[in-house]
Chain A
Amino acid sequence: MARKVVITGLGATTPIGGDVPTMWRNALKGVSGAHTLEDDWVAKYELPVHFAARATTPATEVLSRVEAKRMDPSTQFAVVAAREAWADSGITEVDHDRLAVAFATGIGGVWTLLDAWDTLREKGPRRVLPMTVPMLMPNGPAAAVSLDLGARAGAHTPVSACASGTEAVHVGLDLIRSGKADVVVCGGAEAAIHPMPIAAFSSMQALSRRNDDPEGASRPYDLGRDGFVMGEGAGALVLEAEEHALARGARIYAELAGTSVTADAYHITAPDPEGLGATRALKAAMFDGRIQPEDVVHVNAHATSTPVGDKPEYTALKAALGNHVDSVAVSATKSQMGHLLGASGAVEAVLTVLAVYERKAPVTINLENQDPEIPLDVVTTARDLPGGSIVALSNSFGFGGHNAVIAVRSI
């Protein structure tokens, strides 16, 4: 019998709130975190996209000046969210050799990398900061969280594009089940609202160009969807072996019942149109958690609002849940906060845990004309979830054909 793993701490800093209580309040209300960018580089480089969903609270307002200057913005977000999750868990004493970190990023320290390249070209090699490498490395967020909390049972960085945050939760579950750790701080962080990634995502026609209506641009499942909206921030969860949590009388939000990761091996960016990889991921996570389709009441969908991406997820949900898919309350929270890339799965895991704990499904905004090919029961006003034992799923898919799913069960 595998060790049971529970969730005891939550943290987040996002475009709809700089902490978990604020984010959750807004997620139930239905707000948009997307706004026109005021930065002069939008006009300077004639970017085709003029808006994004910035974190409401700059990390530099939370961290000290000296802390912040040694961290890439992605790492700053990670530390802010991880500290909130750790404080929320109420853990006061822990065996640091049994405490691990699994913290993801999709892109890594892109601001640091490109600032250093500018400095090299404009001022020469002597002016390139000595902290450049530790700041740009993709394991920077995991390393900083490990250093901050004294986590010595390994600091892991799963990188799978937009599935990274969910894969980090998957890694966390494995670390505890396999006995390598008793407590894991897992999550994901991203800070890529920079002209280069905006230009690159625009080139591949992935971003919405609804420049005259940023708040209405992220519209998963709507016939008018035309791409995703760049977001930024971080989400963090404290996972704990159940016996460890019970021994200290912890407040337990929910059980992390099962997780899975699969790969499409179909195309480097396009999702498998039949959603076969996503279907295998859903079925594997449900098998892992001994979950029947009828147990599932809620799905936090990946649903990025791209024309090609939203439908294969429906196909996969239908294949994994059968006709029960019609009875599941589906929330597409990227409609509110945009796409946090490598952080999205972590933030959505936090929302999924809260949905199970509070028994409420968060809101999908901007759904005006639902795509008839995606006949899901989409939550457009906050909805109560049933009592009794319930399960919620959260999906994430990433460029490279990565599929990751977590299943959260009520306690």
Chain B
Amino acid sequence: MASNEEILSGLAEIVNEETGLATEAVELDKSFTEDLDIDSISMMTIVVNAEEKFGVRIPDEEVKNLKTVGDAVSFIANAQA
């Protein structure tokens, strides 16, 4: 089970791989769409890569609730618990 810090840094690497954004830009309070300019197709790619990396399942209907990076980190942490 990963700590929240580990989840954040793992998620930042996935976002960097998909979008080219610097990992430091991926902060807890950043909105995926508003701040990081991530479109829905990139978001789905990030979700699927996060599922594999953290060994969790993120249902499609949950993805729309993951508005900020912090939302995703919390969801993954809870799913791992």
Contacts and interface: CB of A to CB of B under 8 A. Distances in A.
Contact of B41 (A64, A66, A127, A131): A131
A158 to B, nearest CB: 27
A387 interface: no
A129 interface: yes
B45 A130 contact: yes
B52 to A, nearest CB: 8
B19 A126 contact: no
A66 B48 contact: no
B51 interface: yes
Nearest to B44: A130
Contacts of A267: none
B27 to A, nearest CB: 20
A121 interface: no
Question: How many residues of B sit at the interface, in one of the four size bands?
Answer: under 10
Contacts of A127: 48, 52
B41 A130 contact: yes
Contacts of A130: 41, 44-45, 48
A130 B42 CA distance: 8
A357 B18 CA distance: 43
A130 B20 CA distance: 18
Interface in B6-33: 18-20
B64 to A, nearest CB: 15
Contacts of A69: 18
Contact of A126 (B18, B20, B41, B48): B48
A129 B45 CA distance: 6
Contacts of B19: 66
Contacts of B18: 66, 69
B16 to A, nearest CB: 9
Nearest to A129: B45
A91 B32 CA distance: 36
A126 B45 contact: no
Interface residues of A, number: 10
A126 B20 CA distance: 23
B57 to A, nearest CB: 9
Interface in B28-81: 41, 44-45, 48, 51-52
A290 interface: no
Nearest to A123: B52
A44 interface: no
A127 B51 CA distance: 10
B44 A126 contact: no
Nearest to A66: B20
Contacts of B45: 129-131
A210 B35 CA distance: 56
Given A129-B45, A130-B44, A131-B45, A65 B51 contact: no
Task: List 5 A-B pairs, minimum CB-CB distance, nearest first.
Answer: A66-B20, A130-B44, A130-B41, A130-B45, A131-B41
Interface of B: 18-20, 41, 44-45, 48, 51-52
Interface of A: 64-66, 69, 126-127, 129-131, 134
Given A66-B19, A129-B45, A130-B45, 16 more contacts: A64-B20, A65-B20, A66-B18, A66-B20, A69-B18, A126-B48, A126-B51, A127-B48, A127-B52, A129-B48, A130-B41, A130-B44, A130-B48, A131-B41, A131-B45, A134-B41
